[in-house]
Amino acid sequence: MVTTTLALSPVPAAGDDLSIWPGSTTRLPHGALAVGGVDLTDIAESFGTPAYVLDEGEVRERCRTYRAAFPDADILYAAKAFLSRAMVRWIAAEGLGLDVCSAGELELAVTAGFPADRMVLHGNAKSPHDLEAALRLGVGRIVIDNPPEIARLAAAVGQEGSQKVMIRVVPAVSAGGHSKIRTGTEDQKFGLSLTDGQAHHAIAGVLGQPQLELTGLHCHIGSQVTNAKPYIVAVRRMVGLMARVRDTHGVVLSELDMGGGHGIAYRPGEAALDITALARRMRAELSEGCAAARLPVPRLIIEPGRAVAGPAGVALYRVLSVKRTGERTFIAVDGGMSDNPRPALYGVRYAPRLIGRHSTAETCTATVVGRHCEAGDILAADVDLPGDIRPGDLLAVPVAGAYQLSMASGYNLVGRPPLVAVHDGRARLLIRRETLDDYRARDVGL
């Protein structure tokens, strides 16, 4: 455990924007930064690099922001963004539920003490093991994503059993920061189409299975959405479908899950979704739409993941080399796409920062690259960093808490980095570094 006594720098450097960093971030002398009251350079020295830092206070504060904005809704943290036993306990303590996508996520949460009935299981292709674990542990809701799943789930539940379910609907709304994370349109693998009748057939199919209790509808329009308007359009279409279910089947659904995908800023000046404004507009649309359709207002459910975990994380890297080729400067670090594949997958752009020393050199435009054998192993393209950056320097990358460690791989057998939690001036290891011994233990054949 690392404990830090801090001497704060009284005057911020000109143009030194910390707007996307955790709210606890403070400047220290000699170009250092502290998060959660802990000097990031101390973490690098104690735990090595690459390393991930997660600010517990920031996670909890973001949970409270959602609770304040949506006081009458069920808020489910999307575990796919990042999950650990400590994260499960923080989420539980702040009164949120969990959105899980596999038996692994479900069982980790249960072993950390999270009640299964406060979870919703998703997945476009749930395995028999996923469904068996969900039924055995008593998951609160299972979201049906395709027609064959209805009969499969009903058979698994059995004639004497009962399981609450929702239907995932594709509302034909295009939203999201990249084509690979737009999930509300017709041309992707998730959900059942509203426009071609698939959703209606699935609803009838569930209602024909007495052991399945249809509690509501679910939709997820995409990820990294920074404008409230697509959500409002989706609410309107989902209310219309709920009215049709009532008129066709005489069933009034009590829940409406609008998913997550709430966008955050990865670099200063980028747009982020205003959660308070979203809540106000979504509640108004839901109330007005239900009144017009003569429906009771359903219980609203939302599933933020990135917006809770992302801004609470910081990645730390050590510079290994600096190469100047023509007009390009490449800064190679000791991590890369094995701990953060998002730039290669989605073209995400980050804002790395030199920490641990103060530089008076003029800035240069550089590309921060990883250590892996791929030309696409780029962590941050065309970013401004001090022109005197050199091997041994530390770089810190904010907004690193979501979809980085959770998507990390074993490429080149480098080993996944550790995760260190910081809070009130103390640092503690949550997830240890992956080692060669871990790989040897899994490699059981010769």
118 in the same domain as 66: yes
Residue 197 has pLDDT above 50, yes or no: yes
Q: What is the mean pLDDT of residues 3-27?
A: 67
Which pLDDT belongs to residue 180? 43
Q: Among residues 183, 155, 152, which one has the least CA distance to residue 168?
A: 183
302 & 329 share domain: no
pLDDT for 153 = 96
pLDDT-derived band at 223, boundaries 50, 70, 90: confident
What pLDDT score was predicted for residue 1? 58
Residues 85 and 230 both lie in one domain:
yes
- Per the structure, the complete domain to which residue 362 belongs is given by 2-55+311-442
Which residue in 355, 388, 364 sits closest to 30, CA to CA?
355
Query: CATH number of the domain that 7 lies in?
Result: 2.40.37.10
The domain boundary, picked from 310, 335, 351, lies at 310
What CA–CA distance (Å, rounded) separates 190 from 187?
Answer: 9
Q: Would you say residue 147 has pLDDT above 50? A: yes
Residue 340 clears pLDDT 60, i.e. is over it: yes
- Give the model's pLDDT for residue 116: 98
Residue linked to tokens 């030309």: 375
> What CATH number has the domain bearing residue 281?
3.20.20.10
pLDDT at 7: 40
What six digits make up the tokens of 299? 């219980």
Q: Are residues 277 and 392 in the same domain?
A: no
Answer left, alpha or beta for residue 256, where phi above 0 means left and psi between -120 and 50 means alpha: beta
Cα-based angle 397, 398, 404 (whole degrees, multiple of 5):
80
**Judgement on whether residues 378 and 315 belong to the same structural domain of the protein:** yes
Unique residue bearing structure tokens 């100047």: 324
340 and 204 in a common domain: no
Instruction: Answer yes or no: are the C-beta atoms of 241 and 258 closer than 8 Å.
Output: no
- Mean per-residue pLDDT for 405-423? 96
**Dist. CA 142–CA 103, nearest whole Å:** 12
- 418, 429 in Cβ contact below 8 A? yes
**172 vs 325: which has the higher pLDDT:** 325
- Number of structural domains in the chain: 2
Confidence class of residue 13 from pLDDT cuts 50, 70 and 90? very low
Q: Residue 189 contacts by C-beta under 8 Å, 6 or more apart in sequence?
A: 124
Q: Based on the domain organization, do 126 and 196 belong to the same domain?
A: yes
Does 58 score more than 70 pLDDT? yes
Question: Is residue 3 pLDDT above 60, yes or no?
Answer: no
* Structure confidence at residue 2 as a pLDDT band (50, 70, 90): low
> Does 169 share its domain with 260?
yes
> What pTM, to 2 d.p., does this model score?
0.93
Per-residue pLDDT, averaged over 7-12, amounts to 38
DSSP assignment string, 203-264: HHHHHT-TTEEEEEEE----SSB--SHHHHHHHHHHHHHHHHHHHHH-----EEE----B--
Q: Given pLDDT bands bounded at 50, 70 and 90, which one contains residue 196?
A: confident
Task: Cite the active site residues.
Answer: 373
Residue 178 and residue 302 in one domain: yes
Helix runs in 250-356, H state only: 275-293, 306-309, 342-346
Give the pLDDT confidence of 293-326 residue by residue, as tens digits: 999 999 999 999 999 999 999 999 999 999 998 8
pLDDT of residue 175: 55
Domain boundary among 310, 345, 370: 310
Nearest to 206 by CA among 163, 159, 258: 163
Q: 264 with 306: CB under 8 angstroms?
A: yes
pLDDT at 211 over 90: yes
Distance of CA 322 to the CA centre of its chain: 32
- Residue 433 sits in the same domain as residue 406: yes
Question: How do residues 67-112 score in pLDDT, each as one tens digit?
Answer: 999 999 999 999 999 999 999 999 999 999 999 999 999 999 999 9
What confidence tens digit (pLDDT) does each residue in 103-114 have?
A: 999 999 999 999
Both 61 and 143 in one domain: the answer is yes
Total number of residues shown for the chain = 446
User: Of 244, 276, 310, which marks where a domain is finished?
Assistant: 310
Report the C-alpha gap between 305 and 303 in whole angstroms.
6
The reply to whether 346 and 383 lie within a common domain is: yes
